[in-house]
């Protein structure tokens, strides 16, 4: 299927590794112009070189912290300056610390709010004037916790669900401008974040990380962790011209792990 993304411009937040990098790569392969971002300049340049080597879409990069409002403003402005506009916004951020309610400090609550919710709000606000010009797509990356809270991840459970409420509300507010906004939620995708969570849970249970992985895989109907590119393919479809009528929805990419309807 031709996703008709050639020449479209995407700003992909937190895209030097993990799901953000996989999404950026999928969009570049479809011929899109992609602005990648990260706080880590060395990683960012490495990924930029790798994606440029695909010789598909154009790739640029900007270093910045998505919890910093001025950095977000620079990300959007540079994307527009280099590519002439923004058609696609991918909101993405690293996961907050694990921990139960009584273990989480005020600073951790505030930091998670800034990283996992307010950064999305600020990015949408800055990109909106450009998305309004010709219509566009917004994807908010969340977590399977939007459907089933994950034990020991109260910060994620709280702020990821808030993303869904915001997305559903904005679907109505932005529809007159032909802007479609959806939430995509990964289950157990093989990233450094998931390996870290497995390590935390393994330490708590007194087992090896390999044993913990096998236990979790046993709870997934497909019997394995997903690959980052499998997740990215879903995002690529949702931001493509193949999607013209889905907005305000949440999509799980979890191998059937979440049992709720």
Give the CATH number, domain containing residue 157.
3.40.50.720
Residues 53 and 175 in one domain: yes
Residues 156 and 202 in one domain: no
6-35 pLDDT tens trace: 999 999 999 999 999 999 999 999 999 999
Number of domains comprising the chain = 2
Overall pTM > 0.85: yes
Residues 196 and 150 in one domain: no
Question: DSSP of 83-135, one letter per residue?
Answer: HSS-SEEEE--PPPPPB-GGG--HHHHHHHHIIIIIHHHHHHHHHHHHHHHH-
Residues 153 and 32 in one domain: yes
Question: Does 237 map to a domain?
Answer: yes
Tell me what pLDDT residue 154 has.
Answer: 97
Question: Does 260 map to a domain?
Answer: no
48-64 pLDDT tens trace: 999 999 999 999 999 99
Tell me what pLDDT residue 20 has.
Answer: 98
Question: Does 14 map to a domain?
Answer: yes
Mean pLDDT, rounded, of the chain: 97
pLDDT above 70: percentage of residues in the chain: 100
Residues 77 and 170 in one domain: yes
Question: Does 184 map to a domain?
Answer: yes
Question: Does 203 map to a domain?
Answer: yes
Question: Does 202 map to a domain?
Answer: yes
Residues 204 and 139 in one domain: no
Q: What is the CB neighbour count within 10 angstroms for residue 70?
A: 9
pLDDT reading at 130 higher than 90? yes
134-172 pLDDT tens trace: 999 999 999 999 999 999 999 999 999 999 999 999 999
Domain that holds residue 214: 190-225
d(CA 14, CA 37): 5
pLDDT reading at 173 higher than 90? yes
Question: Does 3 map to a domain?
Answer: no
Residues 237 and 142 in one domain: yes
Question: Does 143 map to a domain?
Answer: yes
pLDDT above 90: percentage of residues in the chain: 97
């Amino acid at each position: 299927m031709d996703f008709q993304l050639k020449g479209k411009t995407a700003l992909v937040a937190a895209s030097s590794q993990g799901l953000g990098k996989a999404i950026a790569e999928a969009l570049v392969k479809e011929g899109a112009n992609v602005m990648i971002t990260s706080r880590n300049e060395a990683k960012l340049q490495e990924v930029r070189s790798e994606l440029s080597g695909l010789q598909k879409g154009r790739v640029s990069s900007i270093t910045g912290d998505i919890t910093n409002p001025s950095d977000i403003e620079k990300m959007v402005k540079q994307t527009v300056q280099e590519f002439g506009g923004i058609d696609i916004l991918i909101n993405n951020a690293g996961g907050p610390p694990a921990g139960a309610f009584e273990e989480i400090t005020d600073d951790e609550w505030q930091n998670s709010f800034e990283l996992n919710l307010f950064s999305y709000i600020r990015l949408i606000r800055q990109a909106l004037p450009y998305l309004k010009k010709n219509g566009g797509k917004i994807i908010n990356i969340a977590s399977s916790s939007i459907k089933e809270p994950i034990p020991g991840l109260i910060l994620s459970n709280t702020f990821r669900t808030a993303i869904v409420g915001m997305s559903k509300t904005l679907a109505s507010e932005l529809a007159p401008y032909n802007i479609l906004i959806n939430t995509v939620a990964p289950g157990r995708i093989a990233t450094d974040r998931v390996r870290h969570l497995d390590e935390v849970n393994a330490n708590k249970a007194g087992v090896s990380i390999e044993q913990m992985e096998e236990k979790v895989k046993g709870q997934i109907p497909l019997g394995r962790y997903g690959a980052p590119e499998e997740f990215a393919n879903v995002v690529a479809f949702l931001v493509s011209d193949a999607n013209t009528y889905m907005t305000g929805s949440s999509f799980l990419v979890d191998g059937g792990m979440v049992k709720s309807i």
